[in-house]
Amino acid sequence: MSSALGRIVAAVVLTGALALPFYSFVPANAESAKAFETTSKDDVSSFYLDNGLEVVVIPDHRAPVVTHMVWYHVGSADEEPGKSGIAHFFEHLMFKATKNYPAGEFSRKVAEIGGQENAFTSYDYTAYYQQVAPSALEMVMTYEADRMENLILNEDVVKTERDVVLEERRSRTDSNPSALLAEEVNATLYQNHPYRTPVIGWLHEMQQLNLADALAFYVKYYTPNNATLVVSGDVDLATVKALAEKTYGKVPRRAEVGKRERPQEPEQNTKRTVSLADQRVSQPSFQKMWLAPSYASAKPGEAEALDLLSEILGGSNRSRIYQALVVSEGSAANAGAYYQGGSLDEGSFAVYGAPRGAGTLTEVEAGIDAQIARIIKDGVTEGELEKARNRFLKSVIFARDSQAGMARIYGSTLSTGQTIRDIQEWPDRIRKVKVQDIQDVAKRYLVDSRSVTSYLMPEDGKPDEKVRAEAPASGETQEQPETPAQGIVQ
């Protein structure tokens, strides 16, 4: 189960997975933006089944395709201490046999009709999706509802799949310097919150996961009253409602999950540094991160201001960081900023860069720090904000111009404590951000004495003027460093 989608403004990606938070997408022009907002406000419907399952219907009749997604409101941050990796492990187990169907039959049926399927686990949710023709919607609903209730597990199945996820960790994380550093940074940035633990889990705890753990997790969390069903595409409300009642409506409510209460972060007052030198690293890079409120936890207007701050500071090749370090000075091969605001609890804000030619990590870091200091001291201009806002909205709306994207937007947002209204009103809230709001959040959250700086270097490298990098060959691109707050695993 592996594929990846790059970050669009604040998309969440780690170890080959995908998540598309609602604020990460907007239409590509004013016309499509208007069309999107009208569709969102007028056509999106939601209702609850008697067993507590929330159902969201997003009609889009432009193509004869339906996206069907089930979002369970449980992720790795909900795991019991010592059981890290159980959420992702259980995602794998959901593809095994049920009382009614043999292992693999659901996947085969989807493939036979030319459909697509996948699943992914994050800190805050686990999702399963299929894309099929409208005529196959009842079929995928039947199979998905069946495994919500009738999964069969035994010692052999658990042992075999545990070996699979252990190998996944070894290949994706333990053999990848960027991923290893990201884990260390995450465990440093989050001192108390379970976001400090990798979604895939710590190896020594994954090795101990057993049948009893899996069954307990299934009974507690895979209950209809802890899930949201999102159906988007060539469908109508009446059809979806009838099919949902016929399939999911039969699944009993097995448990009362209760409020999601997690350990929260204490006040942070230290500047921390994490570094990794590895012979497999050819391009040195650095990243500086801060805790920042998410859309779900921020005060009104803060998350929107942080999103626009990231765009102005380093969200595109027109941003301050890119223009100063990559274009004007030529000291950086790559540099930018981004905001991770799609989580249930606190998110993060980050800047990053890699040197080019005679440039050094020290120079790149100092150049980025200078751009942050400028905004904190002098703020941004009205014209700069307006241009950034327009770029931001256009890029986001373009991604929203997809029925699958819409399903992910609604599913991820509703799984992290927000509402349909939050999604629909987001463009208006972005438009209300003022220049003073940008300066205020920069002052409040980009405090150097509360940052975590990481360095990824070639073996024996140091984060100073001795570490130099050759310019990339023509046509090569520099990847953004992997980031700890981007926790999704497929």
pLDDT digits (tens, 9 = 90+) for 261-285: 999 999 999 999 999 999 999 999 9
- Mean pLDDT throughout 101-119? 97
- pLDDT tier for residue 63 given thresholds of 50, 70 and 90: very high
pLDDT for 402 equals: 85
The tokens for 251 are: 């699944």
Distance CA 75, CA 358 (A): 44
Section 309-322 average pLDDT: 96
CATH of 22-250, one of 3.40.50.300, 3.40.50.150, 3.30.830.10, 3.40.50.720: 3.30.830.10
Rounded distance between C-alpha atoms, residue 51 and residue 183, angstroms = 38
Q: What pLDDT does 475 receive?
A: 31
Determine the pLDDT at residue 403: 85
- Choose among 113, 137, 116, 111: nearest CA to 128: 116
Which tokens hold the place of 379?
A: 């703020």
- Reported as a single tens digit per residue, the pLDDT across 341-356 is 999 999 999 999 999 9
Q: Which has the closest alpha carbon to 147: 240, 48, 245, 70?
A: 70
Which pLDDT band, with edges at 50, 70 and 90, does 438 fall under? very high
More confident residue, 14 or 230: 230
Residue 410 pLDDT greater than 90, yes or no: yes
pLDDT exceeds cutoff 80 at 478 = no
- Residues serving a catalytic function are 91
The label of the residue with tokens 């499509």 reads 32
3-state secondary structure of 224: helix
Query: What does the alpha-carbon distance between residue 372 and residue 391 come to, in Å, rounded to a whole number?
Result: 20
CA dihedral 223, 420, 11, 80 (to 10 degrees): -30
* 458-474 per-residue burial string, b: 16 or more CB within 10 A, e: under 16: beebebeeebebeeeee
Residue 226 has pLDDT above 50, yes or no: yes
Q: Average model confidence (pLDDT) for the chain?
A: 87
- pLDDT at site 1: 35
pLDDT in tens, 170-201: 999 999 999 999 999 999 999 999 999 999 99
Distance CA 59, CA 43 (A): 7
Nearest Cα residue to 298 out of 263, 332, 342: 342
What three-state secondary structure class fits 210?
coil
Burial class (CB within 10 angstroms; exposed 0-12, middle 13-18, buried 19+) of 240 = buried
**Mean pLDDT along residues 485-489:** 60
pLDDT in the model for residue 22:
31
- Which residue intervals of the chain bear CATH 3.30.830.10? 22-250, 272-485
Nearest-angstrom CA–CA distance, 68 and 404? 9
Specify the higher pLDDT residue, 479 or 352: 352
Q: Is the pLDDT of residue 463 over 80?
A: no
Mean pLDDT of 466-486: 36
Confidence grade of residue 335 (pLDDT, cut at 50, 70, 90):
very high
Q: Please check the confidence at residue 242 and state whether its pLDDT lies above 70.
A: yes
Mean pLDDT of 250-260: 94
Least reliable range by pLDDT among 54-58, 305-309, 463-467, 480-484 = 480-484
The larger pLDDT score, comparing residue 37 to residue 332, is at 332
Q: What is the reported pLDDT for 480?
A: 38
Average pLDDT over every residue of 409-417: 95
Torsion sign, CA atoms 124, 125, 126, 127: negative
pLDDT at 401: 78
Cα 103 → chain centroid: 29
CATH 2.60.40.10 fits 272-485, yes or no: no
**Token pair for 85:** 């990796």
Structure tokens at 194: 């379970």
The residue among 477 and 366 whose pLDDT is bigger is: 366
Q: How many CB atoms lie within 10 A of CB 392?
A: 24
Confidence (pLDDT) at 358: 84
Instruction: Please name which of 87, 117, 122 lies closest in space to residue 104, comparing C-alpha atoms.
Output: 117
Question: For the sheet containing 54-59, what is the strand order?
Answer: 45-48, 54-59, 227-233, 66-72, 126-132, 116-122, 488-489
Q: What is the pLDDT at residue 92?
A: 98
- DSSP one-letter string for 331-364: -EEEEEEEEE--SSS-EEEEEEEEE-TT-BHHHH
More confident residue, 396 or 307: 307
Taking the C-alpha atoms of residue 6 and residue 25, their distance in angstroms, rounded to an integer, is: 13
**124-172 confidence digits (pLDDT tens):** 999 999 999 999 999 999 999 999 999 999 999 999 999 999 999 999 9
* Distance separating alpha carbons of residues 352 and 309, to the nearest angstrom: 15
Compute the average pLDDT of residues 52-71: 97
Residue 6 pLDDT level (bands cut at 50, 70, 90): very low
b/e string for 402-413 if b means 16 or more Cβ within 10 A? bbbbbbbbbbbb
